[in-house]
Structure 1
Amino acid sequence: MTNGKKIPQALDLEESVLGAAIGCGGASELIELVGREKIFFKPEHQAIYDVIVDLYEKSEGIDLLTVSQALIKLGKLEAIGGNIFLVDLCQKVASAAHLEFHTRILQQMYVKRKAIEVGDKITKEAYNEESDIFELLESSYSNLDKVSDWLLVKKPTDFKSVVNKIFEAANEEVTGVPSSLERLQYKLNGYQKTNLIILAARPGMGKTALMINEALAAAKRGIPVGIFSLEMSDKELAARMFANFCQINVEKISLNKVDKFELRLMNEKREAFSKLPIYIHDKPAISPLELKIQASKWKREKGVEMLFVDYLQLMRIKSHKGNREQEVSDCSAALKGIAKELDVPVMALAQLSRAVEIRGGMKRPILSDLRESGSIEQDADLIMFLLRPEYYKVDEWDDDQRSPTAGQAEINIAKFRNGKVGACVVGCKLEFMQFHDLNGWEEIEENEEEFIPPVPEPNSNLAEAWDTQQDDDDDMPF
C-alpha cells in the first residue's frame, strides 16, 4: 500500500503467464514481449521468470522439470514455494492462447509502478534545497523514457510488408520532403523519412539561411516542420524567415530599419506567413531527450513531417561524464534514433573545424573537418557541405569554365547512403536569407556525370588548427 492506495499489480495474471510459459510452451513468446525487464511484482514470480530466461538463452528446454532443477541449483526452489507451487502454476492454465494479452496488462502495471517510483523520487528530491531541479527532471525524463522505449519496442516486420513499401514508393514521383532547390531535388528526390541529414559549413557560409530556405519551401507546400533553434531566439529566427518570405533585407527587419514600402509589404504578407505550419523551440543547450519529447509532441499533435536542428554541437547531455567528442557522438546517434522512431527526416546543422581556413585553393571541406565529429559521419545518411568561395575572396570556380563565384554557393554531397556523391552550384542572396536555382539546371541529363570536387591534399598543419572549443565567430547570423 502507498498513501493508502494499492500498488498496481495483477498477481493472478503473473501466475497465468508463468504457467503458460512453463506448461504450455509459451516461454519464447513471453521472453519476446518482456525481455530482461523486471515486470513481475511478486519477487518469487520474478525469480521464476529469470530462470526461464536463463534456460532460454542457453537453448535448453523449458518445462516443469528443467525450471525446478534450475531453481534447485540457485537454492531458490523452497523460497518460491517448492515444486507444489510450480505444479499449481501449470495447472491454472490450459493453453498459451491469451499469453500476449495478459502480458500486456502486466506491462502496463509495471509502467505504472515505475511512474510512481519516479514521482516519489521527484517529490523527495524536491524537498532537498541543495538539489538541482533541472538535473532531477532530466533524470526523471530519462528513466520514464527508457520504460516507454521498452514498452513500445518495434516488432520485426515480415518481408512481404517491406517489399510492398518499396513498390508503394516506386509509384510516387517524390518520396520525401521536397527540397527548395531543383538541382538538389533532382539528386535526392526529397529528404527521406528516417534519414539523418547533416548540413555542415564554417560560420558565414549560410547554413542557417539554407535551412530556412528548405523549411519555408516545405511549409509553403503545407508540410508541417519543426525547428529547434539552439543558437537564436524564436524572434530572431522568425525575422530571418520573414526576410526570406518577403524578400526584404534581413538587417532592416532585425534592426527595425524598414521603409514605408517594405513595411506595407510586410503587413500584406503577415497573415499568410503566420499561417505557415512551422513550429519553433528555442531552448539553448537542449538535450536529446528534451528534443525527443518535444518532437514527439509535434508529431502527435501537429503532424510534423520534418525536423531541423540548428545546430548539433550546441546540444548538451547534462549527466554526460565523458569527453566532448563522445557527447557529440551520443547526440548525433540520438538524432538518428529520433528520425527512425518518428519516421521523419531530421536535418542537423553542424560546425566545421578551423582546418578548413588554413587549406589552400577553394578551402573546400572534407569529412574529417566535421568538428568534434565523433560518430557523425557514421550516423548520418546524408552529409552536405556548404561552401561560398566569395567569402574567402576566391573569385572563380575551379572548374573548366572558371565562372565567377559571386552570389553563388556549392552544395557538396560528401556522403549519400542511398545514392551517388557529387556537388551542385546554386545561387544565394544571404541578405534575403535565400538560396535559389541558377539558370540552365533543366539541361541535366540522366547520363550526365556528376561533378565531384577534388579532395584537398593532406595538410600537416591540420592538427594544429583543430579546435574543439567554440569559435569566436560562431555567433555569425548565417
Structure 2
Amino acid sequence: MADGTANLNADDYIQPHNIEAEQALLGALLVNNEVYDRVSAIISDSHFYDPVHGRIYDIAAQKIQKNTLASPVTLKAFLENDEGLKELGGPAYLARLAGSAISLFAARDYAQLIYDLAIRRQLIEIGREISAKAASVEVDSEPAAQIVEAEQALYQLGEKGQAERGFQSFLRSVSDAVAIANQAYQHGGGLSGISTGLKDLDNRLGGLHPSDLLILAGRPSMGKTALVTNIAFNVAKAHKRGIKTDGSEGTIDGGVVGFFSLEMSSDQLATRILSEASRVPSENLRRGNLTEEEFRRFVEAAKELERCPLYIDDTPALPINAVHARARRLKRQHGLDLLIVDYLQLLRPASAKDSRVNEVSEITQGLKAIAKELDIPVIALSQLSRQVENREDKRPQLSDLRESGSIEQDADSVMFVFREEYYREREKPGDDNVEAMMKWQDDMSRLHGKAEVIIGKQRHGPIGTVELSFEGQFTKFGNLAKPHQVSGDW
C-alpha cells in the first residue's frame, strides 16, 4: 500500500507502509553510502515493513560502520541464499533498487516517512494487545497492572521507536560498547558515566553508568542523605545540552536529576542543598540567624539552584510501580539522567507479599528495571542492620545490609558511607585519664572532617575505599586533598 492509510472498517487492519519509499531509500544508500550518516539516527532495520528490506539495510549498515563499501555488488555475496530476496528476483533486485535511488538531500525525508509508518504499525499492535488483555478477565491480570504495562509499552515506543526490544545482534552490542569506551576516552580516560563531582569517587567508579543500580548504605548520622544530595546538586549544576556523539541532541554534561525523598520533605531537602551551595550552616538557615554576608551568599545560591534541573518528589510510602510511572513521565516531560531514591526500605511493593524479604526483592528488582528501561543510573539509599554497632570495627560490610540477599544480588554497585569520627567522638574518656585523653585527642585530630565511601561490590571495577572530606555544619562532602597533590588541582 503506497499512501500509508488503513481500512479502519475491516477487522484485519491493512498495516500502514510505503514500499516505494523503502526501495528509494535503500537504492540511495547503495549508490551513496553517505546517506547512512543522514538516516541512521532516524531509522533502523526494524522500521522497514518488508523484512527483506530490513535485512538489506542491516547488512549495508554493518559494512558502512566498518568503513567498507556497501553496493549491490558487495552485498550480493551476503544475500545470495536469502529466500525472501529470491522471491523478489534474487541479487538482480539489488541492482533495481540502485536504479530507483533518490537524491542525497531527500533521503532524510524518506527515512522519516518510513519511521512514522513503523510507529503507526506498532501503535496498532499495542492497541490490539491492550484490547485483548482488557477483554480477557483473569484472576492474575489486574487492570492496574495492565495500565502500567500499556504505559511502559507506549513510553518505549515514544522514546526509542520500538515497543519491544527483543534480541539484538552481537555487532550492535559491540558497537554500543565501543561508543562507551570512546566516551571515556574523550573525557581524558577513566570516566564513561556521569560525574558525581567527587574526583576520587569518579576515578573508582568511572562515573555513574546508565542502566546501573547503585546502593548507598550506612547507619544513621553517617551522612548518606548528605552525600547523595551533594551528588544530585553536582550533577544538576553541571547540566548542559548539546549534540551528542551519535548526532542526536541531548545531555552532554551533568544531567537532569529526579529525587524521590520518602523520608524528608522537599523543603528540608532544599535547605540541605542550599546550605551546601551557600556554605551557610543549615541550623542558621532554619532559624533565620544569618549575617549580611551569609544572606547574600544564600540568595546567590538560591538563584543558581533555580536554574538547576533538579526535581523532587516527597510523596511518602510510594509503591515501586508508581515510582516507575513517575520516573517515566519525568523523562518524557523534562528529561531524566539520574534518579535517586531516599530510601528503598520506605518504598512499598506493588502488591502485598508473604514476607519482608520478598517485598524488598520486588522493590530492588523494580529499581533495576527502571535503570534499564530509562537507560539511566539509579542511586538508592539503604539502611544497615544494628549488628554493625556490636562490632569493635564499625566499618560496614555487605552482610550488614537489611534483607541483604536481594539488595546485594540486584545492585551493580554497593557503597557504604562511614565516618569513624562519629564513633570516636562518643568514646571520649574521662578527664582524669590523661593518657587516654591525649590518645583520643590525637585520634579526633586525625579523623576530623574525614569520611570514607567503602565500595563493597562493583561490577565494572575493583572494590576498595575512597576518602572524602566532610563538613558537618554544611552537610557537604568534598574531594580530600592528598599531601602529594597540588592545591590548584582541586
Q: TM-score, normalised by structure 2?
A: 0.62
Q: Spell out the pairing of 1:337-416 with structure 2 (5 A cutoff).
A: 337-361=369-393, 363-393=394-424, 404-416=446-458
Alpha-carbon distance in 1 for matches of 2:303, 2:389: 43
Alpha-carbon distance in 2 for matches of 1:392, 1:431: 18
* Structure 1 residue aligned with 2:357: 325
Distance 1:107 1:436, change over 3 A: closer
1:199 pairs with one of 210, 216, 220: 216
1:225 pairs with one of 238, 251, 257: 257
Residues paired across the two proteins, number: 352
Quick check: 2:148–2:325 contact (8 Å CA) kept in 1?
no
Distance 1:360 1:341, change over 3 A: same
Alpha-carbon distance in 2 for matches of 1:326, 1:7: 48
Q: Spell out the pairing of 1:432-447 with structure 2 (5 A cutoff).
A: 432-440=474-482, 443=485
Distance 1:12 1:272, change over 3 A: closer
* Structure 2 residue aligned with 1:56: none
Distance 1:191 1:106, change over 3 A: closer
* Structure 2 residue aligned with 1:169: 183
* Structure 2 residue aligned with 1:112: 127
Matched, 1:183 2:225: no
Quick check: 2:181–2:192 contact (8 Å CA) kept in 1?
no
Query: For residue 12 of structure 2, what is the amino acid of its counterpart?
Result: A
1:152 pairs with one of 139, 159, 164: 164
Q: Deviations over 1:439-473 (max 9, x none)?
A: 217659xxxxxxxxxxxxxxxxxxxxxxxxxxxxx
Alpha-carbon distance in 2 for matches of 1:182, 1:164: 24
Alpha-carbon distance in 1 for matches of 2:181, 2:299: 46
Structure 1, unpaired ranges of 5+: 1-5, 15-25, 30-92, 122-135, 445-478
Quick check: 1:383–1:415 contact (8 Å CA) kept in 2?
yes
* SS in structure 1 at match of 2:390: coil
Query: For residue 410 of structure 2, what is the amino acid of its counterpart?
Result: D
* SS in structure 2 at match of 1:316: coil
* Structure 2 residue aligned with 1:238: 270
Structure 1 residue 206: Cα displacement: 0.3
Higher relative contact order (CA 8 A, sep 6+): 1
Matched, 1:213 2:213: no
Q: TM-score, normalised by structure 1?
A: 0.64
Matched, 1:421 2:463: yes
Q: Deviations over 1:87-114 (max 9, x none)?
A: xxxxxx999x9xx999976653342245
* Structure 2 residue aligned with 1:142: 148
Structure 1 residue 345: Cα displacement: 1.1
Matched, 1:249 2:264: no
Alpha-carbon distance in 2 for matches of 1:7, 1:294: 36
Of stretches 413-422 and 173-182 in structure 1, the one that deviates more from structure 2 is 173-182
* Structure 1 residue aligned with 2:73: none
Distance 1:432 1:191, change over 3 A: same
Structure 1 residue 422: Cα displacement: 0.7
Q: Deviations over 1:138-173 (max 9, x none)?
A: 445334246557933354144252453254235222
Distance 1:104 1:235, change over 3 A: closer
Quick check: 1:328–1:374 contact (8 Å CA) kept in 2?
no
Q: Spell out the pairing of 1:262-277 with structure 2 (5 A cutoff).
A: 262-277=294-309
Alpha-carbon distance in 1 for matches of 2:481, 2:185: 30
Alpha-carbon distance in 2 for matches of 1:272, 1:147: 37
Structure 1 residue 180: Cα displacement: 2.3
Matched, 1:10 2:25: no
What is the RMSD of the two structures over their aligned residues, measured on CA atoms? Answer: 4.1
Quick check: 1:428–1:436 contact (8 Å CA) kept in 2?
yes
Taking only the aligned residue pairs, the percentage that are identical comes to 35
Alpha-carbon distance in 1 for matches of 2:407, 2:310: 26
Alpha-carbon distance in 2 for matches of 1:101, 1:389: 58
Q: Deviations over 1:159-199 (max 9, x none)?
A: 25245325423522231111222221222221112211111
